[in-house]
Amino acid sequence: MNDRDIHSVVATLRDAARAWTLPYVTDLAQRARDPFRVLISTMLSLRTKDAVTAEASKKLFARATTPRAMLKLKQSEIEKAIYPVGFYRAKARNILLTCQELIRQHNGTVPDEMHALIALPGVGRKTANLVITQGFGKPGICVDTHVHRITNRWGYVKTNMPEQTEMALRAKLPGEYWIAINDLLVALGQNICHPTSPKCSLCPVRAQCARIGVTRSR
């Protein structure tokens, strides 16, 4: 995929995405832009299927929707609410630690800067970027496994790790697409461009895809 293709690819994906299920965190942010809920849901989503993240988030937010309310819960209560997300015990612990830091360092509010977000327990660049873009509507590029896989599969970037992909995209992806790219590629990855045996016959941007690394498809 060359640099000129990205404009038509994004336009095509925006049209196609109307028929796809939105990633849970995106849907949550569109319904009510709440940086704290975006932060906690994204923490829960790591190595967890989207449907499981959605159910766990709903159960947890039925109990608490602010750092101070969250700290009234025991770790065991959070674990019960978020099970069976991946690494639920570690995530429950990090949620409490993060809430403590939000109160101690930020007066109970979620910061909107990368350096402050990645200083929170259990928060890496992917989570921080999603909070910045979905929680605050500020420019950022959130690179998860879908964005990393698909942009490399396209041949738009050539990287080995998600953080390398983020930096490569920051260098070449037009700024107007920074926020949208995660939503579109997560939806594409969940619905069509699977890690193994992607549904290339159904892909709306198959003509622009170099299909790098694809050995089997449907």
Which positions are annotated as active-site residues? 126, 144
Using CB atoms within 10 A of its CB, is residue 53 exposed (0-12), middle (13-18) or buried (19+)? buried
The CB-side HSE value for 80 (13 A sphere, CA atoms) comes to 7
Cα of first residue to Cα of last residue in the chain, in angstroms, is 21
- Residue among 166, 91, 96 at smallest CA distance from 128: 166
Asked if 52 and 25 touch (Cβ cutoff 8 Å), the reply is no
Which residue, 123, 120, 141, 145, is CA-closest to 132?
A: 141
Residue 206 CB coordination number (10 Å):
15
176 Cβ neighbours under 8 A, 6+ residues apart: none
